[in-house]
Amino acid sequence: MHPDLWRFAEDLYRRPGVETACLHLQAQGSDICLLLCGAWLGCRGVACSAERAEHLRAIAQPWQREVVSALRHVRQQWRTAAHHDSALAALREQIKQLELAAERELLHRLASCSHDWPGDTAEDMHDWLHTLAPVSTAADRDALHLLHAAARQV
């Protein structure tokens, strides 16, 4: 188990199927940084509560909205044009790196706010993932299940 959320997230994201599952959940409105944090907390045995989940959301939502999503929007807007313009493609790659740095900063903020939460329960990852992700379809449930299974192996 990684004591560092960023390293946990990197290792988890490299597991087979996790990137696809995360992209699916993101397209459905989930905050992947929140889910990665929830998986990390669950692996650490930190009990999930509505109060803790809301505390994490209060940190994540403004940063996601004002920083990460803004960068992602620009990067996605430039996708087609960047195929025909090498200078724009290079700028788009820089935006992608900024987006990744913004996600890393968000994970750092989430880890900092939850660092002192005691890990005194059995694995609580299922509760964390289902509390932090809006699940409405079988595909959403399958993606969460894959994320849960992969996180248990990190």
Report percent pLDDT > 70 for the chain. 99
Instruction: Give the tokens for residue 24.
Output: 């699916």
- C-alpha distances in Å from residue 24, one per residue of 14, 21, 49, 52, 67: 16, 5, 25, 25, 21
Q: What is the pLDDT of residue 120?
A: 78
Total count of domains within the chain: 1
Euclidean distance between CA atoms 64 and 69, whole angstroms: 6
Q: Backbone phi, then psi, for 72, in 5-degree steps?
A: -60, -40
**Quick check: 1 pLDDT over 70?**
no
User: How confident is the model over 86-118, as pLDDT tens digits?
Assistant: 999 999 999 999 999 999 999 999 999 999 999
Domain of 134 in residue numbering reads as: 5-152
Contact (Cβ atoms closer than 8 angstroms) between residue 20 and residue 47? no
Instruction: Give the tokens for residue 80.
Output: 């087609």
User: How confident is the model over 64-87, as pLDDT tens digits?
Assistant: 999 999 999 999 999 999 999 999
